[in-house]
Amino acid sequence: MVSAVPQSTSVGSNSIRLTIASLQPQLIDWRRRLHQQPELGFCEHQTADFIRQKLTQWGIPHQHGVAGTGIVATVSGHHPGPVLGIRADMDALPIQELNDVPYRSQHNGIMHACGHDGHVAIALGTAHYLSRYPDFAGTVKFIFQPAEEGPGGAKPMIEAGALSNPNVEAIIGLHLWNNLPLGTVGVRNGALMAATELFRCRIQGKGGHGAIPHQTVDSIVVGSQVVNALQTIVARNVDPLKSAVVTIGQFHAGSARNVIADSAEIAGTVRYFDRSYDGFFSQRIEQIVAGICQSHGATYELDYQALYPPVINDPAITDLVRSVALSVVETPAGVVPECQTMGGEDMAFFLERVPGCYFFLGSANAAKQLDYPHHHPRFDFDETVLPMGVEMFVRCVEAYCVQ
């Protein structure tokens, strides 16, 4: 049980780490409770109830039901000042957990396989600490966001007013990152994560007997040419000094070995960092599909979704986070700028509205076999990273909300 919240306590900077370290048992407990009760996007009812219970216990004012299951909590300092947002995503993935641990998922087919349970625990720890030691200037808004993994909860939360009343002037967030070892922080100015776009294309040919191909329009042949041609977009249409990916992840067609398939369906994803390519890939993919289908006498239906824009960090806020990271990890080698990834994140929508920084917190520990990749059924992380996450957030508040 966490102690009651004193309203006028301050703590010296040299004691911050020790004070936060004392929270580690609670941080681990909160994380494990959340891990046992994972919920998919916009279904995070138990998660939201748990967060509300803690915030109420600590006397932290908050709104619930924001964009469905989202929560916005506010911690005010003793002095007037700016408004800083801290975002934590809450949702899990449709994955069956294979870890044999006491805190494994109790929900069949659903698992916290990306560290969002840790994100919530870190944000709760930060809110608890700041409510106990509010000797800072300004206000911190905690945005507990649903549905990062899909279909996307950031945009609905923004539309529901999560960044207003009071207006958030800057925002930060972190992602526990098993691509980096424990004790490191990945901080990068500019594009950190890629735009995420998805597409599905149904090609309609004309089926028939495998021995009489001239009477058919072979959808598999057409689809195969489409798959090959789509790879030329990055190779021949994208500036080679810029990065992009077109991946085909699904190709479904056919029902028998001696039957030419009547239709075929392909689906994939597009990733890029440069905002100037917004709208380009959807147009180019349709041009290629249309041209190939026309040349073979096939038709098509293309469904294209621009899901998330790229995650673009603000230079000034990134410099602040980088300076904080250097003080937390206490070695320049522990701050890693080469951390860019083609993964996507709807934190991007918050960063489009206000300046901010999204950063990675290394959470892998190979010695403990806690280094499986994200979205793997054996994903887990070293829980000693949790107080480090709280310290990063607290020191960012300390650096941004100055008197």
Task: Give phi and psi for 334, each to the nearest 5.
Answer: -80, -10
Q: State what percent of residues in the chain have pLDDT above 90.
A: 94
Q: Is the dihedral of CA 372, 373, 376, 380 positive or negative?
A: positive
Kindly give the pairing relationship between strand 299-308 and strand 195-204: antiparallel
E-strand ranges in 135-232 read: 137-145, 170-181, 185-186, 190-193, 195-204, 208-209
Question: How much is the pLDDT for 65?
Answer: 98
Closest CA to 205 of 272, 154, 254, 149: 254
Out of 117, 148, 274, 398, the active site residue is 148
Could you name the CATH architecture of 195-308? 2-Layer Sandwich (3.30)
Quick: pLDDT tens for 250-289: 999 999 999 999 999 999 999 999 999 999 999 999 999 9
Q: Phi/psi zone of residue 297: left (φ > 0), alpha (ψ -120 to 50 degrees), beta?
A: left
What average pLDDT does this structure show over 101-114? 98
Which has the minimum average pLDDT: 12-21, 202-211, 309-318, 346-355? 12-21
Contact 80, 137 (CB under 8 A): yes
Active-site annotation holds for 148: yes
Domain 13-192+311-400: which topology?
A: Aminopeptidase (3.40.630)
Question: How much is the pLDDT for 144?
Answer: 99
Amino acid present at 280: F
Helix (H) or strand (E) holding 346: none
Q: How far apart are the first and last CA of the chain?
A: 33
The C-alpha atoms of residue 191 and residue 277 are separated, in whole angstroms, by 13
Question: How much is the pLDDT for 7?
Answer: 39
Quick: pLDDT tens for 171-188: 999 999 999 999 999 999
Q: Give residue limits of the domains in the chain.
A: 13-192+311-400, 195-308
HSE, side-chain direction, 13 A CA sphere, residue 169: 11
The C-alpha atoms of residue 326 and residue 328 are separated, in whole angstroms, by 6
Question: How much is the pLDDT for 403?
Answer: 56
Question: How much is the pLDDT for 365?
Answer: 97
What average pLDDT does this structure show over 48-65? 98
Q: How confident is the model at residue 6 (pLDDT cuts 50, 70, 90)?
A: very low
> Residue 174, class by beta-carbon neighbours within 10 Å (0-12 exposed, 13-18 middle, 19+ buried)?
buried
Q: At what angle do helices 116-132 and 385-400 cross, to 10 degrees?
A: 50
Question: pTM of the entire structure?
Answer: 0.94
Task: Give phi and psi for 324, each to the nearest 5.
Answer: -65, -45
Active-site annotation holds for 301: no
Q: Is the peptide bond before 151 cis (omega within 30 degrees of 0)?
A: yes
Question: How much is the pLDDT for 3?
Answer: 35
The C-alpha atoms of residue 56 and residue 61 are separated, in whole angstroms, by 7
HSE, side-chain direction, 13 A CA sphere, residue 333: 2
Out of 39, 89, 91, 346, the active site residue is 91
Q: How confident is the model at residue 402 (pLDDT cuts 50, 70, 90)?
A: confident
Eight-class DSSP state of 52: H
> Between the CA of residue 54 and those of 28, 61, 221, what are the distances in Å?
14, 11, 58
Q: How confident is the model at residue 213 (pLDDT cuts 50, 70, 90)?
A: very high
